[in-house]
Structure 1
Amino acid sequence: MVLEHHFPLTTVSRHNSRIKNDNDLGAIVDFRILADRVAADVARGRLRPGDRLPTQRRFARDHRIAVSTAARVYAELTRRGVVVGEVGRGTFVRAAAPTPEPALAEPAHAPVDLELNFPVLPEQPGLLAPAIESLSRPDILAAALAPLGVRATAELRAQAGRVLARPGWTPPDLIVTGSGRHAIGAAFAGLVPTGGRIAVEALTYPLVRGIAHRLGLVAVPVALDDEGMVPGALDAVCSEAPVHAVSVQPTLHNPLGVTMSEQRRAAVAAVLRAHGVVAVEDAVYSFLRPDPGPLAAHAPERTVVVDSLSKRVAPGLTLGFVAGPPELTERIGVAARTAGYGPQGLAVAAATRWLSDGVVDTLVAGKRADAAARQTLARRILPTLRADPAAYHAWLPLPDPWRAETFVAAAARRGIAVTPAAAFAVIPAHSPNAVRLALSAPSPAQLERSLHSLATLLRATPDLPD
């Protein structure tokens, strides 16, 4: 049940702002004290997860404060993680306090993990083992323990370039990092100065905004539709103030699971050229759907492609890649070296063997089939899911009266970890009422059972979920 709640006015403060509304009483009100009162009501159970707060205008009227002060109260509650806003719906009490690090940073503790995507096929350990065993040879181990730069070896660059190539595009130059996250960090650091603006999808991979924040960059959200980033919205963001780079996921967008058409890619490329902006194209899921070609095929001089082996192979022994024109990769390589984002020799040795022996190609073929089968299963059980049929994840809009935070909590009680939309939002207070389901981790039988459980949950109510 959705409830509204009203709170008593507090007028004692050390840091204060004067009421300035139609009923100005000349009283002194500290927005932090009001936020404390709301947070205390949540802690004591007077406000429950999923309860809706009044509108800011209603809150201001009830407490005889300025609307601007009410907005500061709600912003403070959002900053503390007490509440979350949903576009067009209002502000709701969170199900639980958020973690201090970006969401999806650590594996879930629930028995069934639909939160993180780390696909591992049953036959995978046997395919990977020979390369690991070969590292025990003294000559190979000695080479792997030697210092290594971000350009690694010629063989690795050749093999990785072959695997990363897509229709209409071949990597012109390549930087190798320790992981995909390192590749993103190096690209951002190399292309955007501290304090610079980077345009990012309004819903994006959580570590994109986390990395931008830690580098001191201003992440500016760009609207999305059923194909991903909207070219007109990107043009507006680039027109209002200088933008140094654009972070975009054209293929199998995370979390929405959608893929841009060739026409959309061409339109985004036109905006890049019009404003002289560089794109950082996150292609980590593109191996699941090689067509269409990358954004880089439409604007090769203005695009660097970030990729990794974490999904193709495994996150525990992976490499990251940044591919693009030399004038851009040179800057990114300097950033990678400065930040210590270079690859480890053991990972390079193993990955080179897996790439050259065809193990990665075998894994890619197997994971494409696995992802398609899981997506088909998920859509059969949950027809309202939205995603590309090739994706390992799907977007689940929630019906009334469910709210994302309460649905996540109810799923957790059933032993299923899912992720609320707010975890992906550049502005968490403005997120859709939806959750993302990652489909790769459970066994097929576990996945089917958990999806049926979620389907039953959707037909229930937040008050009586079972």
Structure 2
Amino acid sequence: MRGFDDYRRIADAIAADIAGGRLKPGDRLPPQRLFARRRRIAPSTASRVYGELVSRGLVVGEVGRGTFVRAVPEPTGRALTERTGPAEINLELNYPSAPGQSELLSASLEPLLRPDVFAAATQVAAAAGTSQARTAAARLLASGPWHPEPEQLLFAGNARQAVAAALTALARPGGRVGVEALTYPVVKEIAARLGVTLVPLAMDAEGLRPGAVAAAHRSAPLSALYVQPTLHNPTCVTMPERRRAELAAVARELDLPVIEDRIWSFLHPGAPAPLAAHAPERTHVVDGLSKRVAPGLSVGLLAVPAPDVERTAAALRSAGTTASRFALEAATRWITDGTVDRLATAKRADAAARHRIVRDCLGGHDGADGLGCHDGPDGLGCHDGPDGLNGLNGHDIRTDPHAYYAWWRLPAPWRGETFTAAAAAHGIAITPGAAFAAGSHTTPDTVRVGLASPSHDVLREALRTLAAVAAQPCA
């Protein structure tokens, strides 16, 4: 029982530091391995210490960021019930679901369970999948004037693995890849693992600035460019047609490969044509089924220019991240029988309904529905349009009727990490803006609020709680 007593005793010491003010709300604890070395304890003991602190409600863990001391606002008389355990309402991860989704998916899988079909479906799949899967995926990905050839299609276990394969194929260790100043956190993790440097590029209200790409490439050559033109995560910006054409022209002039992430684009069928329509010879399109279908039933999709197909397939094979044959067979059936389209339609309607909840709970009282006008550390300038909300004492909420997330610029003196910790104290998990910052780019006063996972009623109550927390003095 000595190990049990040791980790409890260490947790008590940390708790005392928090109670005595030596560790303040928003302070980050060391990574667990570093904590273990400093305390001369086993990594497993450090993990139990951190778990104990979380269970006591003293700290909150943030995916990709670390462990932070949570904020405990001073009592203000408001009817806010503070929880003492880990966050129970997840507004951090986005898992959209549609009514009847499980029944719809399982019905399509019944034929796969026949012994003869099941035997074939459990064989190893190649990176290029099957001809039926390639044809189905090419139809699913087609958008406007862009129609990928089935021979261009490759398959990964999920979209994250597809991004990793594209980066592996295009950038050597030590290479530089341009990204929006705010980018998908998983891309940062993948780049670190591959030894690739991410170069943050300036954005404005229309998305990535083409001039920033050219300037960065002149400074030191870029190996590739990763970009989210439609429903950018986290800012919800959808790049207009003219900007896409300009960006494609710059990429062609610089002979720069592009990785276009379209994982959320199915929610916005009216968006401009993908970058791949403007520069098909250099654009690697990444998509997947985790958001369209379900996170545990996913396949990552890659549409690759013909000269790069074998190199990208080799990256998938070497990493062991090709899709399973069963997942491919299931995905092919869901696409061809219309299941994926029906789910996408339902989730678009759901996203719009959740957007209305955001407006009701966080939209302020002035009736304005344009984006706030400011130049700040999030890289976005002035823009007025139907896709954002003003209110809540001068800060603003950037969102879109098609999006499953909102980008919230907090009122002073709140910071992203301390507000995230304060939200966790009320049982709500959100993501601080710093998790999306590439390089030294900072977003100290922002958080991203995911909208997809809880029920509508739970989402409404959580947003009202967050609004009330934001109105309180920062602890």
TM exceeds 0.5? yes
Give 1:131's match in structure 2, choosing from 108, 113, 117: 108
Q: What are the equivalent positions in structure 2 for 1:403-422 lying under 5 Å apart?
A: 403-422=415-434
State the secondary structure of the residue aligned to 2:360: helix
Q: What are the equivalent positions in structure 2 for 1:280-319 lying under 5 Å apart?
A: 280-290=259-269, 291-319=271-299
User: Quick one: distance in 1 between partners of 2:65 and 2:26?
Assistant: 22
Q: What are the equivalent positions in structure 2 for 1:134-283 lying under 5 Å apart?
A: 134-172=111-149, 173-283=152-262
Give 1:46's match in structure 2, choosing from 12, 18, 22: 22
| Superimposed CA distance per residue, residues 178-207 of structure 1 (whole angstroms, 9 cap, x where no aligned partner) | 110110010000111111111111111111
Residue 354 (str. 1) matches residue 331 (str. 2): no
Specify the alignment match of 1:85 in structure 2: none
Query: Which stretches in structure 1 are left out of the alignment for 5+ residues?
Result: 1-39, 52-73, 82-94
Aligned CA distance change for structure 1 residues 444 and 241 (closer, same or farther; 3 Å): same
Deviation (angstroms), 1:101 = 4.6
Deviation (angstroms), 1:228 = 1.9
Give 2:90's match in structure 1, choosing from 113, 118, 127: 113
State the secondary structure of the residue aligned to 2:113: coil
| Superimposed CA distance per residue, residues 245-287 of structure 1 (whole angstroms, 9 cap, x where no aligned partner) | 0010000011111110011111111211121100100000000
Specify the alignment match of 1:26 in structure 2: none
User: Quick one: distance in 2 between partners of 1:429 and 1:249?
Assistant: 18
User: Quick one: distance in 1 between partners of 2:87 and 2:60?
Assistant: 17
User: Quick one: distance in 2 between partners of 1:168 and 1:421?
Assistant: 35
State the secondary structure of the residue aligned to 2:96: coil
Aligned CA distance change for structure 1 residues 303 and 432 (closer, same or farther; 3 Å): farther
Give 1:396's match in structure 2, choosing from 393, 403, 408: 408
Deviation (angstroms), 1:146 = 1.5
User: Quick one: distance in 1 between partners of 2:307 and 2:110?
Assistant: 39
CA contact (8 A) 1:259 1:388 kept: no
Residue 441 (str. 1) matches residue 436 (str. 2): no
Worse overlay, 251-260 or 133-142: 133-142
Q: What are the equivalent positions in structure 2 for 1:44-123 lying under 5 Å apart?
A: 45-50=21-26, 101=64, 110-123=87-100
State the secondary structure of the residue aligned to 1:304: strand
Deviation (angstroms), 1:379 = 2.1
User: Quick one: distance in 2 between partners of 1:250 and 1:42?
Assistant: 43
Aligned CA distance change for structure 1 residues 376 and 306 (closer, same or farther; 3 Å): same
User: What letter is aligned with 1:48?
Assistant: K
* Segments of 4+ moved more than 4 angstroms: 40-44, 95-103
Aligned CA distance change for structure 1 residues 280 and 43 (closer, same or farther; 3 Å): farther
Aligned CA distance change for structure 1 residues 435 and 100 (closer, same or farther; 3 Å): closer
TM-score scaled by length of structure 1:
0.78
User: Quick one: distance in 1 between partners of 2:448 and 2:220?
Assistant: 32
State the secondary structure of the residue aligned to 2:286: strand
Deviation (angstroms), 1:131 = 2.7
User: Quick one: distance in 2 between partners of 1:126 and 1:316?
Assistant: 15
| Alpha-carbon RMSD | 2.5
Equivalent residues, number: 383
Give 1:424's match in structure 2, choosing from 418, 436, 457: 436
State the secondary structure of the residue aligned to 1:135: helix
| Superimposed CA distance per residue, residues 283-312 of structure 1 (whole angstroms, 9 cap, x where no aligned partner) | 000000122111111111111100000000
Deviation (angstroms), 1:324 = 2.7
User: What letter is aligned with 1:110?
Assistant: A
Deviation (angstroms), 1:330 = 2.4
User: Quick one: distance in 2 between partners of 1:143 and 1:120?
Assistant: 29
User: Quick one: distance in 1 between partners of 2:397 and 2:189?
Assistant: 27
Deviation (angstroms), 1:135 = 2.6
Specify the alignment match of 2:354 in structure 1: 374
User: What letter is aligned with 1:164?
Assistant: L
Specify the alignment match of 2:318 in structure 1: 338
TM-score scaled by length of structure 2:
0.76
Query: Which stretches in structure 2 are left out of the alignment for 5+ residues?
Result: 1-15, 36-57, 67-84, 364-395
Aligned CA distance change for structure 1 residues 370 and 428 (closer, same or farther; 3 Å): farther
User: What letter is aligned with 2:465?
Assistant: S
User: Quick one: distance in 1 between partners of 2:196 and 2:166?
Assistant: 12
State the secondary structure of the residue aligned to 1:169: coil
User: What letter is aligned with 2:94?
Assistant: N
Deviation (angstroms), 1:49 = 2.1
Deviation (angstroms), 1:219 = 1.0
User: Quick one: distance in 2 between partners of 1:133 and 1:351?
Assistant: 13
State the secondary structure of the residue aligned to 2:448: strand
Specify the alignment match of 2:468 in structure 1: 456
Deviation (angstroms), 1:209 = 0.8
| Superimposed CA distance per residue, residues 217-268 of structure 1 (whole angstroms, 9 cap, x where no aligned partner) | 1111111222221111111111101111001000001111111001111111
Deviation (angstroms), 1:47 = 4.9
User: Quick one: distance in 1 between partners of 2:263 and 2:460?
Assistant: 26
User: What letter is aligned with 2:431?
Assistant: T
Specify the alignment match of 2:367 in structure 1: none
Aligned CA distance change for structure 1 residues 382 and 239 (closer, same or farther; 3 Å): same
Deviation (angstroms), 1:99 = 5.8
User: Quick one: distance in 1 between partners of 2:226 and 2:20?
Assistant: 41
User: Quick one: distance in 1 between partners of 2:417 and 2:440?
Assistant: 12
User: Quick one: distance in 2 between partners of 1:370 and 1:156?
Assistant: 28
Aligned CA distance change for structure 1 residues 424 and 96 (closer, same or farther; 3 Å): farther
Deviation (angstroms), 1:372 = 1.1
Aligned CA distance change for structure 1 residues 386 and 429 (closer, same or farther; 3 Å): closer
User: What letter is aligned with 1:228?
Assistant: G
